[in-house]
Amino acid sequence: MLRSLNCPNCGAPVPSTSSGLFLVCSHCKSTVGNLAIYGKNRTDTACFSIEEHSGEVDQLSLMCGLGDWNGLLDVSNQILTTDPNSVAARCYKALAIFWLGDNEFSHLDIVNKLLCQAKTYAPDDPLVASISDVLANDIMVTAIRNENYGSEFTNAVYALTLANKIGKPSSSVSTQVVSYIQGAVDRLSKEFWMDLRRQKRNYDPPYRSIQLLYQCGWLINNTGCLEYFWLFGSLHAGKNTSKSYSPDLAQQLEITKQMLISKQSEKIQKQIGFDFFGNPKELVIGS
């Protein structure tokens, strides 16, 4: 049977005859997850052989191929009512919730939770692993459609961080995520310096932006981004010592410091200071 699915980036139908984990959308060239694999690989996966619901699992796999996400959700829920530990139903339910969700990504918490449970019940199961990787990939494809600033970017970072925990995307999507994040970090750091030059000693970088830098730096393992976090996070921490989050921020700074030391970053010796005229510059700590 020829299954088709829709590209999470452009919505065009992507026919999937391949058995590979990922496919390229012929319309927008995004690398997207291949849903057809969920009907295959059934012999080498523990999560189906332990099921007593082979008929229902066939139904799940069919609905998945048809893109009937509401039907998929209903049948998954039915199976979970009679068999609360069903791994397959959890995986399909995660898939349905992803596809039924909106772009605010608030539904992704449930997706993540279901997949974490599936992994606990069936560790190293190839089907759970492939569904996780495909979902991680498609969440990322969806997330990087957001603008890389403002609340859309905050939402995207949330989704990307979660997707990173869920699974491993295709290499082309990983590359796109890195350039998406880097573009945003360049913009953020320019804004930090501009506001700092304007407001001088009065400048207090917003906590929300500081947190974004931290998340982005760790998301793509980027030293440059974590150096900005170190400089501006330290500045903010120094001005907000009695905030409820200050112990957490101190801990983030410490983790980052250790990482930057391991990368032999010279920024670890630096902090933001001011010259005689009050203009900001990087100073060696303690000088």
Contact residues: Zn ion, CB under 5 A: 7, 9-10, 12, 25, 27-28, 30
**Residue 9: both structure tokens together:** 């980036």
User: How far is it, in rounded angstroms, from Cα 213 to Cα 192?
Assistant: 11
Q: CA quadruple 48, 49, 50, 54: dihedral positive or negative?
A: positive
**Residue 175: both structure tokens together:** 């590359």
Q: CA quadruple 47, 51, 54, 60: dihedral positive or negative?
A: negative
Of 25 and 127, nearer to Zn ion (C-beta) is 25
Of 10 and 259, nearer to Zn ion (C-beta) is 10
- Distances, alpha carbon 111 to alpha carbons 135, 162, 167, 187, in Å: 9, 10, 12, 31
- Find the shortest distance in angstroms from Cβ 23 to Zn ion: 10
Of 24 and 50, nearer to Zn ion (C-beta) is 24
- Find the shortest distance in angstroms from Cβ 174 to Zn ion: 18
Of 35 and 73, nearer to Zn ion (C-beta) is 35
Of 92 and 98, nearer to Zn ion (C-beta) is 98
User: Shortest CA distance to 105 belongs to which of 168, 158, 165?
Assistant: 158
- Find the shortest distance in angstroms from Cβ 14 to Zn ion: 7
- Find the shortest distance in angstroms from Cβ 30 to Zn ion: 5
- Find the shortest distance in angstroms from Cβ 90 to Zn ion: 28
Question: What's at 3, amino acid-wise?
Answer: R
Q: 107: helix, coil or strand? A: coil
- Distances, alpha carbon 35 to alpha carbons 97, 275, 286, in Å: 14, 59, 57
Judge contact between 243 and 202, C-beta under 8 A. Answer: no
Residue 185's contacts (CB-CB under 8 Å, 6 or more residues apart) are 213, 216, 217, 222, 224, 225, 228
- Find the shortest distance in angstroms from Cβ 39 to Zn ion: 22
Of 169 and 205, nearer to Zn ion (C-beta) is 169
Q: C-alpha angle 177/93/83, rounded to 5°?
A: 145
User: How far is it, in rounded angstroms, from Cα 189 to Cα 138?
Assistant: 28
Of 22 and 92, nearer to Zn ion (C-beta) is 22
Q: Residue written as tokens 């609905």?
A: 63
Of 61 and 142, nearer to Zn ion (C-beta) is 142
- Find the shortest distance in angstroms from Cβ 9 to Zn ion: 4
- Find the shortest distance in angstroms from Cβ 10 to Zn ion: 3
